[in-house]
Amino acid sequence: MMPIGPLMIEHRLIEKMIGAMKQKLEEWKKEGKPDPSFIDTAVDFIRTYADRCHHGKEEDILFRELGKKSISSEHRRIMEELLEEHRRGREITGRLLKANEDYRKGDTGAVSTILECVRELVELYPKHIEKEDGHFFLPVMGYFDDEEKDAMLNEEYEFDRGLIHKVYQDTVAEVKEPAGN
């Protein structure tokens, strides 16, 4: 069994969200009025599912294990590009969150930043996913034997099992306790 199966399945869900974002972007460009609620949902999806869950498994499991192998310079270059794209996605999503907050506070100038950020995300993710699916995930599996692949797959399942708890532990840690508690 190859550990990339769940990662590629996750790509399909990410593509669906990016498709919805692309559709909203076209509506917002015509109307000049983004939907802050949808943006909250998209930011949450990207931060939690695409980044913490999906990219977390890539970076914390697959890339870590590849770092222990003598991989080709081409595969190393692609891995570095993927890491940079993960960082870029985080940066764009952070800007989108800030622009959405500003827009909610009445800053109509934030609309252009919202549109720009959503456009950047809908351009970034399909290319990123195509690179992983078409040029990276399958070829790098050749560096691992079946036992190593099974170990990574089990680690991915454990990662998923603990993620929801970690997300909400972080949420509670950010919430201030009422005075006197």
- For the cut 90, the answer to whether the pLDDT of residue 164 exceeds it is no
Confidence band for 180, pLDDT divided at 50, 70 and 90 = low
Q: What is the pLDDT of residue 178?
A: 52
Write down the pTM of the prediction. Answer: 0.88
Higher pLDDT, 163 or 75: 75
- For the cut 70, the answer to whether the pLDDT of residue 138 exceeds it is yes
Write down all domains in the chain, each with its CATH number in brackets: 4-168 (1.20.120.520)
- For the cut 50, the answer to whether the pLDDT of residue 11 exceeds it is yes
Q: What is the pLDDT of residue 43?
A: 98
Residue-wise pLDDT for 34-58, tens only, equals 999 999 999 999 999 999 999 999 9
- For the cut 50, the answer to whether the pLDDT of residue 99 exceeds it is yes
SS (H, E, C) the chain: CCCHHHHHHHHHHHHHHHHHHHHHHHHHHHHCCCCHHHHHHHHHHHHHHHHHHHHHHHHHHHHHHHCCCCCCHHHHHHHHHHHHHHHHHHHHHHHHHHHHHHHHCCCCCHHHHHHHHHHHHHHHHHHHHHHHHHHCHHHHHHHCCHHHHHHHHHHHHHHHHHHHHHHHHHHHHHCCCCCCC
- For the cut 90, the answer to whether the pLDDT of residue 122 exceeds it is yes
Q: What is the pLDDT of residue 25?
A: 98
Residue-wise pLDDT for 16-38, tens only, equals 999 999 999 999 999 999 999 99
Taking residues 82-110, report their average pLDDT.
98
Look over the chain and give the mean of its residue pLDDT values, rounded to a whole number.
Answer: 92
